[in-house]
Structure 1
Amino acid sequence: MISTFAEMDLRPELAETLSKWGFTTPTEVQAQTFPLVSSGVDIMVQSRTGTGKTLAFVLPVLQRMEADNMGEKENKRVKILAIAPTRELAVQVGLVFAKAGRLQGIHVATLTGGAAYGDQLRALRLGAQVVVGTPGRLVDHIDRGTLDLSNCTTVVLDEADEILDMGFQEDLEKILGKLPAEKQSLLFSATLPDGIETIARRYMRKPYRLNLSAGMEASTSLSHAFYEIHKDSKIEALVNLLHLEQPELAILFCHTKAETEEIARRMTAEGFQAAYLNGDLPQVTRTKTLDAFRKRQISLLVATDVAARGIDVLGITHIVNFGIPRGVETYIHRSGRAGRMGRPGKVINLVTPLDRVKMRTIIRDAKLTAEIKPVPQGEEVRKKMRERFFEELVSRADANNFGDLADFAGELANNIDPAAVIAALLQDLQATTGKLAVGYDVLVPSNKREPRDTATRSKLRERPERGAKPLREEGMTRLRLNLGRNSQIQPGYLVRMICEKAGLTSAAIGAISLFSAHSLVDIKSDSAEQVITAMNATPDDRGRRWNVTRF
Structure 2
Amino acid sequence: MLFKELNLIEPILTALQTEGYTQPTPIQEQSIPTILKGQDLLGCAQTGTGKTAAFAIPMLQLLYKPHANVKGPRAIKALVLTPTRELAIQIEESFKAYGRNLPLKYLVIFGGVGQKAQTDALHRGVDILVATPGRLLDLMGQGFISLKDLEIFVLDEADRMLDMGFIHDVKKVIAKLPAIRQTLFFSATMPGEIQKLANTILKDPTKVEVTPVSSTAEKIQQAVYFVTKNDKRSLLNHILQDKSIETALVFTRTKHGADKVVKDLIKAGIKAEAIHGNKSQNARQRALTNFKARTTRILVATDIAARGIDVDELTHVINYELPNIPETYVHRIGRTGRAGLSGIAYSFCDAEEKEYLKDIEKLIGLSVPVAEDNPYAMSWQSLMAAAEKPKAKGNGGGNRGAQGGRQGHPKGKPQGQHQDREPNLSGAKRTPKSGSRRWSGKSKPKSSNA
TM-score, length-normalised on structure 1? Answer: 0.68
Compared CA separation, residues 70 and 255, structure 1 to 2 (3 A): farther
Compared CA separation, residues 356 and 232, structure 1 to 2 (3 A): same
Separation in structure 1 between the aligned mates of residue 193 and residue 203 of structure 2, nearest angstrom: 17
Compared CA separation, residues 70 and 224, structure 1 to 2 (3 A): farther
Matched, 1:185 2:152: no
Question: Where in structure 2 are the equivalents of 1:371-410 lying within 5 Å?
Answer: 371-374=369-372, 376-377=374-375
Matched, 1:447 2:381: yes
1:92–1:310 contact (8 Å) kept in structure 2: yes
Displacement of 1:17: 0.3
Separation in structure 1 between the aligned mates of residue 218 and residue 103 of structure 2, nearest angstrom: 39
Separation in structure 1 between the aligned mates of residue 257 and residue 237 of structure 2, nearest angstrom: 15
Matched, 1:231 2:165: no
1:79–1:152 contact (8 Å) kept in structure 2: yes
Separation in structure 1 between the aligned mates of residue 35 and residue 84 of structure 2, nearest angstrom: 24
Displacement of 1:214: 3.0
Displacement of 1:360: 3.3
**What SS does structure 2 have at the residue aligned with 1:337?**
coil
Displacement of 1:61: 0.8
**What SS does structure 2 have at the residue aligned with 1:102?**
coil
Separation in structure 1 between the aligned mates of residue 178 and residue 34 of structure 2, nearest angstrom: 21
Q: Tell me how large the CA RMSD over aligned residues is.
A: 2.2
2:245–2:315 contact (8 Å) kept in structure 1: yes
Identity %: 33
2:218–2:364 contact (8 Å) kept in structure 1: no
2:149–2:178 contact (8 Å) kept in structure 1: yes
1:252–1:302 contact (8 Å) kept in structure 2: yes
Structure 1 residue identity aligned to 2:31: T
Which residue is 1:176 aligned to?
174
Displacement of 1:219: 5.0
TM-score, length-normalised on structure 2? Answer: 0.82
Which residue is 1:437 aligned to?
none
Displacement of 1:145: 0.7
- Relative CO higher for 1 or 2, CA cutoff 8 Å, sep ≥ 6? 2
Compared CA separation, residues 446 and 165, structure 1 to 2 (3 A): closer
Displacement of 1:206: 2.2
Separation in structure 1 between the aligned mates of residue 367 and residue 383 of structure 2, nearest angstrom: 26
2:35–2:55 contact (8 Å) kept in structure 1: yes
Find 1:111's aligned residue among 91, 103, 109. 109
Structure 1 residue identity aligned to 2:224: F
Based on CA coordinates, which of the two structures has the bigger radius of gyration?
1
Displacement of 1:450: 8.9
Find 2:97's aligned residue among 84, 96, 99. 99
Separation in structure 2 between the aligned mates of residue 131 and residue 215 of structure 1, nearest angstrom: 28
Structure 2 residue identity aligned to 1:296: R
Structure 1 residue identity aligned to 2:27: V
**What SS does structure 2 have at the residue aligned with 1:6?**
helix
Structure 1 residue identity aligned to 2:366: L
Separation in structure 2 between the aligned mates of residue 450 and residue 217 of structure 1, nearest angstrom: 29
Which residue is 1:356 aligned to?
354
Displacement of 1:355: 2.1
Which residue is 2:153 aligned to?
155
Which residue is 2:345 aligned to?
347
Question: Where in structure 2 are the equivalents of 1:5-404 lying within 5 Å?
Answer: 5-67=3-65, 69=67, 72-73=70-71, 76-214=74-212, 216-218=214-216, 220-244=218-242, 246-374=244-372, 376-377=374-375
Displacement of 1:74: 5.6
Compared CA separation, residues 212 and 241, structure 1 to 2 (3 A): same
Q: Deviations over 1:153-199 (max 9, x none)?
A: 00111111101111111111111111111100001110011121221
Separation in structure 1 between the aligned mates of residue 384 and residue 158 of structure 2, nearest angstrom: 46
Q: Deviations over 1:207-258 (max 9, x none)?
A: 2222213353225441000011122211111111121364222111101111
Separation in structure 2 between the aligned mates of residue 155 and residue 191 of structure 1, nearest angstrom: 20
2:226–2:383 contact (8 Å) kept in structure 1: no
Unaligned runs of 5+ in 1: 378-441, 452-472, 477-506, 508-551
Separation in structure 2 between the aligned mates of residue 449 and residue 314 of structure 1, nearest angstrom: 36
2:214–2:330 contact (8 Å) kept in structure 1: yes
1:43–1:185 contact (8 Å) kept in structure 2: yes
Separation in structure 1 between the aligned mates of residue 81 and residue 219 of structure 2, nearest angstrom: 30
Compared CA separation, residues 103 and 70, structure 1 to 2 (3 A): farther
1:251–1:302 contact (8 Å) kept in structure 2: yes
Unaligned runs of 5+ in 2: 392-396, 398-450
Displacement of 1:70: 5.6
Separation in structure 2 between the aligned mates of residue 369 and residue 48 of structure 1, nearest angstrom: 23
Structure 2 residue identity aligned to 1:52: G
* Count of aligned positions: 390
Structure 2 residue identity aligned to 1:199: L
**What SS does structure 1 have at the residue aligned with 2:241?**
helix
Compared CA separation, residues 43 and 110, structure 1 to 2 (3 A): same
Which residue is 2:401 aligned to?
none
Which residue is 2:439 aligned to?
none
Structure 2 residue identity aligned to 1:34: I
Displacement of 1:118: 1.2
Compared CA separation, residues 70 and 115, structure 1 to 2 (3 A): farther
1:338–1:345 contact (8 Å) kept in structure 2: yes
**What SS does structure 2 have at the residue aligned with 1:302?**
strand
Separation in structure 2 between the aligned mates of residue 233 and residue 71 of structure 1, nearest angstrom: 66
Question: Where in structure 2 are the equivalents of 1:435-474 lying within 5 Å?
Answer: 442=376, 444=378, 447-448=381-382
Q: Which structure: greater helix fraction? A: 1
Which residue is 1:502 aligned to?
none
Displacement of 1:99: 2.1
**What SS does structure 1 have at the residue aligned with 2:381?**
coil
Displacement of 1:119: 1.1
2:351–2:384 contact (8 Å) kept in structure 1: no
Once the two structures are overlaid, the 10-residue window that deviates more, 175-184 or 64-73, is: 64-73
Separation in structure 1 between the aligned mates of residue 306 and residue 270 of structure 2, nearest angstrom: 20
2:258–2:302 contact (8 Å) kept in structure 1: yes
Compared CA separation, residues 7 and 219, structure 1 to 2 (3 A): farther
Separation in structure 2 between the aligned mates of residue 37 and residue 449 of structure 1, nearest angstrom: 52
2:19–2:97 contact (8 Å) kept in structure 1: no
2:226–2:380 contact (8 Å) kept in structure 1: no
Displacement of 1:200: 1.6
**What SS does structure 2 have at the residue aligned with 1:340?**
coil
Separation in structure 2 between the aligned mates of residue 153 and residue 68 of structure 1, nearest angstrom: 17
